[in-house]
Amino acid sequence: MRFFEKISFEQFKKDISDDINLYKSYNVPSRATKASAGYDFNVLKDFEVKPKEIKKIPTGIKAKMEDDEFLGLYIRSSLGFKYNLRLTNQVGIIDSDYYNNENNEGHIWFSIQNEGDKTIEFKRNDRIVQGIFSKFLIVSNEQKVTNVRKSGIGSTNKESENNE
């Protein structure tokens, strides 16, 4: 089972705004056509990215997926092609255990950089990144992994907890 959902309003207030109308008005990611691989994430608020500027963008979204899946985040092709806009990490990887972590509920953020020479403006509801769910494989001789994620982004090497 996989799905997107909004973060709680309490998390939304911490990360984005205490505007209940904004919270109620945005949608979870969706596909534009029946053959689209990616689910489009929309911009919550107007903003701009100047040349060479980096912006960290909250989505207000979390994603539930199976243990052997991940959500890959990619800049929409047209934005990279037309404007030289990139995710700062090139591809975002959201692990299944990021969902509902204790630190931030699994709130998905992304960071973009404008590597072009013109300011790029985004309006509320513009599509900016796309998420694609994928299965992954593990090696057959892997030692049993028992660490459990406790926090948000970048936490697997800091605060994992051994459950044995």
16-23 — which CB contacts under 8 Å span 24+ positions? 16/44, 16/58, 16/60, 17/45, 23/60
52 φ/ψ angles, rounded to the nearest 5 degrees: 70, 0
Q: How many domains does the chain have?
A: 1
Cβ proximity of 148 and 95 under 8 Å: no
CA atoms within 13 A on the CB side of 116: 17
10 φ/ψ angles, rounded to the nearest 5 degrees: -60, -45
Amino acid 149: pLDDT: 62
What's the token pair of residue 25? 């008005």
Could you read off the pLDDT of 41-82 as tens digits, one per residue?
999 999 999 999 999 999 999 999 999 999 999 999 999 999
Please report whether residue 161 resides in a domain: no
Please report whether residue 163 resides in a domain: no
What's the token pair of residue 83? 């404007």
Could you read off the pLDDT of 104-145 as tens digits, one per residue?
999 999 999 999 999 999 999 999 999 999 999 999 998 888
Please report whether residue 43 resides in a domain: yes
Please report whether residue 76 resides in a domain: yes
Q: What is the CATH number of the domain that holds 76?
A: 2.70.40.10
Please report whether residue 155 resides in a domain: no
Please report whether residue 99 resides in a domain: yes
Range of the domain at 28: 3-138
Please report whether residue 20 resides in a domain: yes
Please report whether residue 129 resides in a domain: yes
Is a pLDDT exceeding 70 seen at residue 153?
no
pTM above 0.95, yes or no: no
